[in-house]
């Protein structure tokens, strides 16, 4: 489980972001958004954790961590709408979940 979640997080391409619930669902565990946190905690360092945000593109972290996440995202070309990520333009879109758009 944790391994799968981590594996999914690693799939998030640069310049994109995904919500905890989305990662969990993509990994095959819809509803396990909280477990994503575990995956990040257990690993925390060897994956693009900064590409994981909360529902609506809100950065849930705080203090230094939250700052770094935002900085890292902006450094990848991710745009922000106030305190949130521009999901409409940066939400990860897995091939299978892609739509005619």
Which residues have C-beta within 8 Å of that of residue 77, sequence separation ≥ 6? Answer: 14, 15
**Would you count residue 28 as binding DNA (CB under 7 A)?**
no
**Would you count residue 78 as binding DNA (CB under 7 A)?**
no
Rounded Cα distance, 1 and 13, in Å: 21
Q: Nearer Cβ to DNA, position 10 or 34?
A: 34
Choose, by CB under 7 A, the member of 10, 14, 28, 60 that binds DNA. Answer: 60
Map tokens 């849930």 to a residue. Answer: 60
Question: H-helix or E-strand containing 10?
Answer: helix 2-11
**Would you count residue 87 as binding DNA (CB under 7 A)?**
no
Q: Count CB-CB contacts under 10 A for residue 56.
A: 11
- Return the DSSP state at 52: E
Choose, by CB under 7 A, the member of 12, 17, 27, 32 that binds DNA. Answer: 32
CB of 74 to DNA, least distance (A): 16
Residues engaged in binding DNA (CB under 7 A): 1-2, 19-22, 29, 31-38, 40-41, 44, 49-50, 52, 54-55, 60-61, 65, 69, 82
């Amino acid at each position: 489980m944790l391994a799968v979640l981590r594996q999914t997080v690693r799939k998030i391409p640069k310049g994109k972001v995904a919500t905890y619930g989305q990662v969990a669902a993509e990994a095959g565990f819809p509803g396990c958004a909280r477990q994503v946190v575990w995956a990040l905690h257990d690993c925390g360092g060897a994956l693009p954790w900064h590409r994981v945000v909360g529902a609506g593109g809100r950065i849930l972290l705080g203090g230094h961590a939250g700052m770094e996440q935002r900085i890292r995202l902006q450094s990848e070309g991710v745009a922000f709408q106030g305190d949130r990520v521009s999901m409409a333009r940066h939400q990860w879109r897995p091939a299978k979940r892609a739509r005619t758009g």
